[in-house]
Structures are given as structure tokens and as C-alpha cells.
Structure 1
């Protein structure tokens, strides 16, 4: 399934921005470089997650496991371009399913473990998956029962597990090599075909599907490897499940391309994280600013572990401080890269190479692909960036004026999944994607090659690096029988970036508590990370002339009452 128009695909190929390699091509190339080398390592606490012992897989063993899963998917009747919904923790199983889909030309739609019936029904309705691959239980929740319930609501969804005692699991049974070879020879894969549909939230009331092709992901690996200066000698630690561009694009695809070792971590536990760095001699990972800051303030904890193998960390999702970058370099000789990115493919990197000064690296991003600005960077070669006035939509070329960041080029998706109205708003006629984030050109001549981040124009709440739609929460909460009106906002938080607060206008003679809201959302099958942590009661919600809630004003109201 190709969603990018033929003219654009041809142009990207001619320019060398895309090529004909698929994700499976990267995988096969990595296997040949050292089939017996360890490629993939489970979280050391895996048995506590899903009851299975942690594994360390060589490239050859991983290849055999991918063939086995691919063979069983064929036996189950899946055809090229069929969609797989995958709700798996960050174990080798998730990587195997991703690589099996890439090998067969299937489309995998990965989702976080916290999603419940509310979110999963929406995704099933949008993508119409043929298979739902999940675990039996995780963190005390019966995922298998939920999957069966959802499958009973549609005639075409089959629940699958990786391991089953009766031999029916995707990692059970014999690999039918003949059928697998026949399937692959009769179903060649074009690099422009869609491989993944990830999910992201914004101002819309429900999550948006973000389709990315093999060519998108291969190019993403090129960009990340160039930005981070990865080599085959690196050992990568992935602390995020395979559900978005940060994990898949930031670590999994670069791992495949350089043929390194990938170590998985889940759920996040700082002591286990440090232990894995020490044991596996990790050289590169991704961590949010809150974690990096918390570690620096716990020297006793840091002294328990040898992290001298580490050379670099990428960080984003919240502002970095110059102190943080300077201290990691001075105290531990670890360089921090400041990353701005999104599932749609927008990526700006302030690396030690592009922005050497730590104070500047914390505050600014290179204007990759901007007119009149050149960078020695793969990202700058394959993308364009500009700022536009939020009101007039005129292009901003001078410092000191706040504008919305727009991006175009070969890293950016061609549109959201099956969302023509949304695409009309998010993409202009020339293919520029409006990120909804506010920047300005830095104000001095020496810094004019850089963007300064101002804030988000979108209303999304960023909690722990996850985008949460306030509109979706509003719609869910306002149905509560005690509530006349309700609206949610994000409040700043040093650890998570933002926490969720809800302002409610109760019906007459009613009192609404935070427990009321939490139980209501739980009964609706809503992911726990979307549940508000603060509540205030107000007489009315601030609205503009179009009767839309003014969240900036509401945030001030909520803050004043807390």
C-alpha cells in the first residue's frame, strides 16, 4: 500500500533522499555482517512483566524467530497489506513482530500497554486490523481477556499471542520455509509501501494514525546515524516501547542499519536502567530531561554503577537546561543531544557537532533546510523548514518574530491515515506540514542560523513524553452525570513535563471529586495516564466568541485555585 503520490516518490528517489531498500533489506544486511554476534537483549526483569525469561538473541537466532512468526502469520491467512494491531511490552517479541511484518509486507500498528478498550476500539475502527497480537497479562491487567472482548465485537479480528502452551503461539511450531519463500517471491515489497501506523494526539478529540513507509524509516535511520555519529561498535539502550518515532526511528532502525547491539528496557526503572548500562556496556541511549536531571542530583545512586561506557544521550520532549548539558559533560564525559521531533517526521537536532556550545545547545535548534542556511547534515539535505506568521501565514525571515514551524521533505509523512479533513488542515498544497509549535529565528547575527523554541500553539498535554488530547478528555468527562461542563489543561511539572488538571462546572447541588473522575474514566476503559491528577470547581469555563474554551486562560484559573 503506497500513500505517497507517484510523482513525489519518483522525485525523492531521483534526489537520493529515498532509495529502494526496505526494512527487511537492512535486517538481512545486518545478519550477514556477523550472524553469531549478539543482536538483541531483553529487559533483565522480563519475567516480572510477562512471565518469560529474558533472552539474548544473535542475529541468526533473531532471523530464525522472525521467519517462524512470519510463517505462522501466513498460516493464519494474513495477506500483504493486512494490518496487525500490536500491544506488546518492550521485549524481543515486539521487535520480532515488527521485523516479521516488514518481511511480509504487512502493516503493523503498535500501541502502548496502557491503552484500554476506549483507545483500542477507536484504532480497530480506523485501521480494521486482521490480527491483534498481545500478551496474556501485564502489570496485573488481563490483556488477553480485553483482546477477546474486542475481537468478539468484529467478525474479522483474530487474537494472537507470541507464546501459548498449546503450541498455537506465533513463536511455537515449525517454520514452513517453502510457504514463506513462496509468499515472499509472490509479494515483492516496494520501499514506498506503508510499514507502520503509529498513533499521536493533538487538538483533535481522538488519536491520529501516522502511516510511515519503509523508505521513511530507512531514511530516518540515515538521519539519526548521521546526527548521533553511531557506529557498529555502539551498544544502544532502548527505554521506550516500539510505538513511535522516538523508539522505532531513534533506536531500532539505526540499530538495524549499523548492525550493532540493541538492549531493551521496560517499564522504566532508574536502577535497572543504570544496571543495564553497566552490564551491557551501553554507549548510547535516550532519556527525558527529568531523568537526566534527577540522576545528577543523586550522586550516591550514580556511584553504585559504572557508566563509563556511555558516550552520548539524546533528550527531548521538554526543555533542556545549560546546566544539565554542561554537568553531564564535565562530570561524566557524556554529550547530550537536544532533540525536537514528532511522529509525523519532524526532526531538529542540536548535537555537539552542530551546536558545540552547551548553553546554546540547550536553547536552540539548527534551521535545517531553511532558505539561505547551510548545514553539513543529512537532515538538512532531505528536509525544508520555515516559520510562518500564525495570523497572516506569511513566511518569517527575520529574528524576533514568533512563528509556527512548518516542515517539508522526505522525512515527513504524506498525510494522516484515512483523515482527509485533518490532512487539509495540517498540510498545505505544497506539502508543508504545520507542526503547531512556535519558534523564532535567534536574535543575533552569530545565532541567526538557529531556531529558538517558544512553545506549543497546539493545546496538547505532554505528560511523560506522551501526547494527550485535552479535547478527547473533555468529551469523556463531560458525560459524567454530575457535570454540566468540563475542560482539561496541562500544568507544568519538573518530572513529567506536564500533569493533567480538570476544571468542572457541576450541576446544581452536586459535588465532583477527583475520584469521581478517575472511576468514570476507568469505567469507560480509558488509559490510566490520561486521568487527571488535579481538579478544581469553577462557575463557568472561559470561552471565546466562537464558544471555544480558551485553555491559556483556563490554565491561569486552575493554577490560581490550586
Structure 2
């Protein structure tokens, strides 16, 4: 039985964006084919295996699509994809679009329990998974789960080595004859991909996006960061299987006819090598990754040899967490390029500071400038949080940020309770974020309705404290989390990566916060020094892992030496 996905945005509104050219009104594979026909020899993908042009990529896509069709996978079927960044992930994206199926990508490194949850709730009929990647054997793990998933008919094993027993070899599907293959032509306003968001729910949220919302709305976002009509060359440091990574196949390739530069896993050294060798026009990542890159550049400078220079991209596009001015300034100096602060989420909001934008802080306020909303991507309003019908808040006042536009998703998957909680009857998305629009129409993000540490009844914004701590000269990276406390309910803990070997204590950090004007009640009461902040498989700071570490240490103490934690996936 095919999963039913409803569009919660009025059809008339969707059609208006196709009619006025805001959205291309083509399904993703047809859009890609038009790019392939226009310039077949342009490089589509650069990965560890080398270069792959548009024509060669399309041949592989049509072979895989034929193989998927022979397995009975067709229009409307949901297919999971758990592959590292590389050509196989791109081939899978396009082949699923070609047969009219709905892709459900989720990053490698996510455990079998979460994978089972996603596949079950989405009623996935198949999953394409890597045989082995950095010690994980996802195909075998998913095959073991198959009996508990009634809708799952096939586990397709991709990668070197023998396919686990009971799975379908991905390589065999690529050997099919595509001569008779006829692509499906799904409705451009129909579902193309399900984005997975960790969000604030007990289980990951799944958000259904149409072809037009991806190539149109999200495509307009990337288009606003292009300097001219030349196709972009985008280095994705985040997984293509993440919400941020959905700007890869559907946007960089299908919409803009560009090139994807991909690393199968992130390391700062690998990222620097890719920038120097492939000279991307755009580098897309999260602030923590850039801080790690800047530290790697510092090490190169201290090694006694002259480090190789960096070619300047058109932009560094950083999202996923708050971008502080210290990191932004360091990145601008190192890369000689604009740094774009991206505020966005899988739920359907997008706003950024643009190629000419700085990342200023609002004096005397915890707000961060997010840029000017673009109606061709997502229009943004501020709703009065005290009103039941989310009426628009008075100009300049703080309220809940709500968004609606060409990138607005269709609905949450298998979660009518989330639809009721986060979507309005006329299609607006409730973000759960607090912010305001100033007199110039610039969005300022203050914090989250839920993302607060409540200490003795007083609310503390971790993002505000992180931003002030990041300005300390010995702090390379920082994340603040709340830890349970019998007396106060919660206490704030700062998890810090230091620069160099200089000692750093909690008292010194609190003195710095006092000089920055942060009131005493917001100061952290625990300090954990770590070698690196752990990252989730999607590339964001793993706050749950940090909180678990602090709880295991116990007691109101501070770390005195860097503690190893799990590195980036």
C-alpha cells in the first residue's frame, strides 16, 4: 500500500508559483535530463572515485531505475537511502525520481533503532544501504530488521564486498539494460523526498517535499547566492542525506546544472584538500566544521612550513546552528570570501544574510541577524504567541516566526499530530523560534520557545551564552546544554574546545561573560573541556551526547583536561 501524503498548502497557492515561473514545474529527473541534454560533458560529481559527467551519470541513473522497476518499485513508493556522500547517493536520488518513487535519505551512522522507526512510519518498500562504511554495516543491520517491517520488500546493498545474505546487490541493478526504460512523469507538486529532522520530538520528524518545493523554493535559495549565470561548483561538507544536503542533487544539479564536490565523511584536512584541489564556488557546512577547519589551518601555520593558500569561493554558506561573529570573521579572513549565515530547517523556513551581509549582533539583545526573507523561497511573518489564531504581532515586537512560500513542505509523514501542531489551516509553518522583523524588514532570531534551560524558574538561552563565550580568545568551539539538578531543576553547562594548550577554567570564562555584560544568572555552572564537539550523523552538534557525558560525570564540577568524545561521523 502506497503511503498517502497530503499537501497542507492550498493548491491554488502552489499553482500560482508554477504559473509565474517561481518554480520550474518539472519533476526532478526531467529537470536533470534537460541539464544533461544541454551540456552532457559537464562534470556532475567529483568524489573519491574521480569525476563523473552528466551523460555518464545519466546512464547509471537509467540502469538503476530499470533495476528498481524490475523489483516492482514505482510511483509513490517510499524508498529509504542510507549512503555516504558520493556518486552512488546521487545516482539513487535521481533513479528514484525517474521511477516516480519518494526518496527517504538518512545519514550513515544513524543506528538501527532510528532506521527502523523511519522506515516503519514511512511504510518504505525498500532501502538502499551501504554494505560497510567506517565500521558500520548498515545493509546487514537493515536486513535483520526486515521481518519487523511488513512493508519492506527489499534491502539493496551498495558498496564494495559481498552483499549480505538476503539482500539485493546494488551492482546487479546497475547491470540492467535500460534501453526500454521510460521515465515516470510525476506531478511536480507531488512528493519527491522526505527530509528527516531531529527537531525537538521524541522521534525524528519526517517532512514530505514536492519536486517544485525542492527545485523551486530551495533552488531559489541557492540561486540568490550565485554571482552570475555560471553553474555552481558546490562542496558539501554536510551529508546529502541531511535536510541541508537536500540542496545537492535536486538543487545544485537538477535546478542549476552545477557540480557536486563530495567527501564520504568530513575531516578538516579533507575539506581543505578539496577546496585547494577543486576550487568550489560554494562551500556548505555547519559552523563547527568551519571552526575545525580554522584550527587545522592554525596547525599548518605552526608547523614551520608555509601552508598552501586557499582559493576564494564565492561564498561559505553556514547553517544548522548559530553562527557567531568570531567564527564568521575567522572564516572571512581565511577564505577571503563572504560568509552567509543561513537560518533554516527541514520544517520549511529559510532566510540568510546574503553575499553582501555581515553577521552582526544586535547590541544589548540576544538576537542574531538572519537576513531579509525572500518570498521566492519562504515569506516570513511574526505571530503573536499569546493569540490562539497566530495573528500577526505588532511591528518590531518579538513573536513566533512562521513561514510560507515555494519551499514550504507538503506535510509531516505519518504524524497528523505534528501537522495539527505546526501547520496552520492556510499552510503556514510554525517554527517554534522566537524573533522579530525590524523597520527594514530584516529578521532577527531571538531563540526557541522550547530550547531553554530553566534554572530555578528562570529561563536561559544556551545560544545567547554560546555566542558570548565564543568571543573568548581561548575558546575555539562551544556548546551549552542543560543538565538535571535536584535543587534548581537544571543547571547550565559549557562544553568547550580550547585553542592551543593554555589552561582555561570556569571562573575565567565567567569573568569574560561579566565583561561582555551577560548577567550572572546566565553564567554556566559546569565546564567540560573536550577535544572536539561530537557531531550527529547529520553534521550538527550532538548535544544529547554531551549531556549524557556530563550526567555520567555527575556533580557540580568542572573538567580540568580535555575529554575525548566521539568525533564527526
Query: Same fold, TM exceeding 0.5?
Result: yes
> Secondary structure of 1:227's partner?
coil
The 5-angstrom pairing of residues 121-140 of structure 1 reads 121-140=116-135
Relative to structure 1, is the Cα distance of residues 388 and 497 closer, same or farther in structure 2, using a 3 angstrom cutoff?
farther
Check conservation: 2:252, 2:260, Cα contact below 8 A: no
Q: 2: distance between equivalents of 1:360 and 1:333?
A: 25
Q: Which residue, out of 453, 458, 461, partners 2:445?
A: 453
The 5-angstrom pairing of residues 279-294 of structure 1 reads 279-294=277-292
Q: 2: distance between equivalents of 1:14 and 1:233?
A: 25
* In the alignment, structure 1 residue 169 sits paired with structure 2 residue 165: no
Q: How many angstroms does 1:246 deviate by?
A: 1.1
Q: Which residue, out of 101, 107, 110, partners 2:96?
A: 101
Q: Which residue, out of 54, 58, 69, partners 1:59?
A: 54
Relative to structure 1, is the Cα distance of residues 34 and 244 closer, same or farther in structure 2, using a 3 angstrom cutoff?
same
Report what 1:36 is aligned to.
Answer: 41
Q: 2: distance between equivalents of 1:536 and 1:288?
A: 26
Report what 1:192 is aligned to.
Answer: 189
Report what 1:3 is aligned to.
Answer: 6
Q: Which residue, out of 206, 211, 236, partners 1:214?
A: 211
Check conservation: 2:354, 2:371, Cα contact below 8 A: no
The 5-angstrom pairing of residues 155-554 of structure 1 reads 155-157=150-152, 158-163=154-159, 169-172=169-172, 174-181=175-182, 184=183, 187-219=184-216, 220-229=218-227, 231-249=229-247, 253-296=251-294, 298-301=297-300, 304-330=307-333, 332-353=335-356, 355=357, 363-368=368-373, 379-392=374-387, 393-399=390-396, 401-442=397-438, 448-459=440-451, 498=479, 503=484, 530-531=544-545, 532-536=547-551
Unaligned runs of 5+ in 1: 45-53, 369-378, 462-488, 506-526, 539-556
Relative to structure 1, is the Cα distance of residues 74 and 537 closer, same or farther in structure 2, using a 3 angstrom cutoff?
closer
Q: How many angstroms does 1:396 deviate by?
A: 2.2
CA deviations on 1:331-382 (whole Å, 9 max, x unpaired) are 54211111100012211010134x36867899413342xxxxxxxxxx3345
- Greater helix fraction, Structure 1 or Structure 2: 1
TM superposition score normalised by structure 1: 0.74
Check conservation: 1:36, 1:59, Cα contact below 8 A: yes
Relative to structure 1, is the Cα distance of residues 504 and 537 closer, same or farther in structure 2, using a 3 angstrom cutoff?
farther
CA deviations on 1:229-276 (whole Å, 9 max, x unpaired) are 364353211112222331112675123323222110132101111101
Check conservation: 1:39, 1:56, Cα contact below 8 A: yes
Check conservation: 2:29, 2:254, Cα contact below 8 A: no
Q: 1: distance between equivalents of 2:393 and 2:11?
A: 31
Relative to structure 1, is the Cα distance of residues 264 and 2 closer, same or farther in structure 2, using a 3 angstrom cutoff?
same
Q: 1: distance between equivalents of 2:144 and 2:228?
A: 44
Q: 2: distance between equivalents of 1:60 and 1:351?
A: 33
> Secondary structure of 1:125's partner?
helix
Relative to structure 1, is the Cα distance of residues 357 and 439 closer, same or farther in structure 2, using a 3 angstrom cutoff?
closer
Q: 2: distance between equivalents of 1:319 and 1:163?
A: 36
Relative to structure 1, is the Cα distance of residues 559 and 201 closer, same or farther in structure 2, using a 3 angstrom cutoff?
farther
Unaligned runs of 5+ in 2: 454-460, 471-475, 487-539, 560-569
Q: 2: distance between equivalents of 1:334 and 1:255?
A: 23
The 5-angstrom pairing of residues 47-126 of structure 1 reads 54-126=49-121
CA deviations on 1:110-131 (whole Å, 9 max, x unpaired) are 1121221221121122111111
Q: 1: distance between equivalents of 2:200 and 2:552?
A: 23
| Higher mean C-alpha displacement, 190-199 vs 408-417 | 408-417
Q: 2: distance between equivalents of 1:29 and 1:164?
A: 32
Check conservation: 2:112, 2:141, Cα contact below 8 A: yes
> Secondary structure of 2:26's partner?
coil
Check conservation: 2:341, 2:359, Cα contact below 8 A: no
Q: 2: distance between equivalents of 1:16 and 1:366?
A: 24
> Secondary structure of 1:453's partner?
strand
TM superposition score normalised by structure 2: 0.74
Question: Aligned pairs, how many?
Answer: 466
Pairwise CA RMSD: 3.3
Q: 1: distance between equivalents of 2:141 and 2:482?
A: 28
| Higher mean C-alpha displacement, 415-424 vs 150-159 | 150-159
CA deviations on 1:365-417 (whole Å, 9 max, x unpaired) are 3342xxxxxxxxxx334532111232234422332x32110111221113211
Q: 1: distance between equivalents of 2:113 and 2:359?
A: 46
Q: 2: distance between equivalents of 1:142 and 1:325?
A: 37
Q: 2: distance between equivalents of 1:83 and 1:358?
A: 42
Q: 2: distance between equivalents of 1:497 and 1:411?
A: 32
| Higher mean C-alpha displacement, 167-176 vs 24-33 | 167-176
Relative to structure 1, is the Cα distance of residues 383 and 273 closer, same or farther in structure 2, using a 3 angstrom cutoff?
closer
> Secondary structure of 1:190's partner?
coil
Relative to structure 1, is the Cα distance of residues 421 and 295 closer, same or farther in structure 2, using a 3 angstrom cutoff?
closer
